[in-house]
Structure 1
């Protein structure tokens, strides 16, 4: 898999790639009245729809991105991997920012995924007031050093899925039906603990407000990924 990514990086088109720890180390968050977070510990049952990792690439078109994904190494998931390809970009025009990659810090990284809903699947624009508050919160978190990346995703009607069977790819066009488990956007935080992530989530101006549903998963460090090879 590293060789596969290295080939794309050599072409200058590989921006980022990270693995997420399994859902048994994850959390789900929704909010009660007064923005009080309700935290549910993993593991989560619907394994088929959970995200295991992500890559961000530059491609001239969706067709080019899918062509790259179709070359995915057959060793991953014993040739049964399923990969969803989505254009980056907030429908309201909020800028993506940052780099989720590991640095010299020993602090763990957490990915906060905003789960999709019927409204986000319409490429809903929350308007300048909410977008302005989000932009300010992103700026403040980035300047403070703990919010290291954030990206919006287009709705699944712009997406494709590449499903492998014994290493052979088959491509499916969006939109997709299982809205509850899809992701509308994500942030990556470099903080000391899950408690810090929950504290951030309590005050962040999510476009869905108190109706936001989040999944929080730790990212693997390079040391952890390479440990089996030692």
Structure 2
């Protein structure tokens, strides 16, 4: 089962510091470079960052359950600032088709994350009409085939998730659901685009099945966020990745 690990943004990440201790696959530029697009009654309104209630990046890991994902995060290297990590089960309640790594390896073209901001309906998994999901799946498949869409998936409500706080002297876990719905993410698209303006145009024409009124946040993705990591963090990253791979293989061959 796939789970998304979201790093909540904080003073360190917003200042351009390490967002993922080398362990996040997708790291965003600080939210001062972000744009929120609110689509209402067919009209788009733009709000430029920075934002207080946002995230700094994410990874998607294979873990049988939330408790297993929590155990994986116990290996997260504690830094100077506490890290707040949100665990969310991947997937759409209405079974939309996920897009996985359509970019392939070695892709260095600029990418942007289009983050679907949550709502009460999304958080409570109110059913969506099948024809809207079908239209989204077709659009995603065409965009992936064209080379624009790199990855996409939904996130289940936070009743299926948890939050972990990692500090030098403490490790705490809070189970969902969470009440601050406007701060939550309900899904994402990772796209290639020549500029923020092109990413905004793509986001506006995207056929959101939960529309017509939606809000998304668009974040530039750092193409090489871990280049400056020291030996200790690189070693910690390699160790965690190796342990995750070993656990996944063990689960596969003993199932």
TM-score band, normalised by shorter chain: 0.7 to 0.9
**Secondary structure of 1:40's partner?**
strand
Describe the shift of the 1:100–1:163 C-alpha distance in structure 2 as closer, same or farther (beyond 3 A). Answer: farther
1:59 corresponds in structure 2 to 63
Q: 1:95 matched to which residue of 2?
A: 97
Partner residue, 1:217: 219
CA-CA distance at 1:166 after TM superposition? 3.2
For residue 42 of structure 1, what is the aligned residue in structure 2? 49
Alignment of 1:23-172 (within 5 A): 23-33=31-41, 35-44=42-51, 46=52, 49-75=53-79, 78-99=80-101, 103-172=105-174
Find the counterpart in structure 1 of residue 203 from structure 2. Answer: 201
How many angstroms does 1:225 deviate by?
3.6
> Could you tell me which residue of structure 2 aligns to residue 13 of structure 1?
none
Cα distance in 1 for residues equivalent to 2:103 and 2:135: 25
C-alpha change, 1:205 and 1:184, in structure 2 (3 Å) is same
What TM-score, normalized to structure 1?
A: 0.85
Residue 179 of structure 2: SS of its match in structure 1?
Answer: coil
What CA distance in whole angstroms lies between the structure 2 residues aligned with 1:102 and 1:221? 14
Taking the aligned partners of 2:100 and 2:38, their CA distance within structure 1 comes to 25
Question: Gaps (5+ residues) in structure 1?
Answer: 6-15
In the aligned structure 1, how far is the partner of 2:32 from the partner of 2:227?
21
RMSD: 1.9
| Count of aligned pairs between the two proteins | 210
SS of the aligned residue for 1:187 comes to strand
Which deviates more, 111-120 or 58-67? 58-67
- Cα distance in 2 for partners of 1:92, 1:124 equals 9
Distance 1:19 1:214, change over 3 A: same
Residue matched to 1:19: 27
- Contact (CA 8 Å) 1:91, 1:154: kept in 2 or not? yes
Give, in whole Å, the separation in 1 of the partners of 2:38 and 2:111: 21
Deviation, structure 1 residue 102: 7.7
Which residue of structure 2 aligns with residue 226 of structure 1? 227
Contact 2:103–2:147 (8 Å) recurs in 1: no
Name the SS of the counterpart of 1:66 in structure 2. Answer: helix
Deviation at 1:204, TM superposition (A): 1.2
Q: Is the 8 A contact 1:99 1:149 kept in 2?
A: yes
